[in-house]
Structure 1
């Protein structure tokens, strides 16, 4: 049914939980996983550092941290026998959600599996939801996974 699964990762427990679900889906379908980390450049600069410092020190550091996040997740999945690719991109003025949707098309994925923090009310209005925007904009199905209340359980344990 699914031939390629896109999994955006941000380092949160919710994203890790979504990755567990995506891995279970990959085992069922034989589909490779495409792990994506989108870097929001503005999260990594104060605006006070000179451009040379940003280019020489700041940007390489946050890109290396993003790649390390992807590599750690990919290594664990590969040890479990799954096929995994990694993609690291920067927002470049676009929203995280727009970049995720773009990558779903660019990497020819036919489902996106991602975590959602389940914000409601004022928090949702003020912060917004990348997951909600991806679900609205994506040309493929989007599986939104909320953080489990039963921390430490796998998707299979939750189902059974």
Structure 2
């Protein structure tokens, strides 16, 4: 499978949080302490995390219970502003390591270890968009998920 090679600046740690904050404020949204805490916790996961997992860790960090519904709302904001991606089949989220670069999501999900690798292939997702348009459907943002076994578990 050919993926289009373009170079992302992969952000990590504080650099990732700074990039996320800049992207969100550039979109006209506020970077609140709660949003910062949720993003910081989300960014620690190397596998897709549920809102409940994130709520538990943010609750521990803040010393008071944070409702999963509040986390869901913020995660939806992050997804709509390209700070996070949602793995639809797992109802779980991953921080976007390059929030300034918008691509349709293609996830390779391992059924054994639960890892989700995000790849970019603009020609593939472009064809998905074209097929949707040909069927009279306006695709907002295609998400392609391929389930199987990763190289580490194979």
- Same topology, TM > 0.5: no
Structure 1 length as normaliser, TM-score?
A: 0.27
Name the structure where helix makes up a greater proportion of residues: 1
Structure with more relative contact order (C-alpha pairs < 8 Å, separation 6 or more): 1
Q: Give me the TM-score of the superposition, normalised by structure 2.
A: 0.27
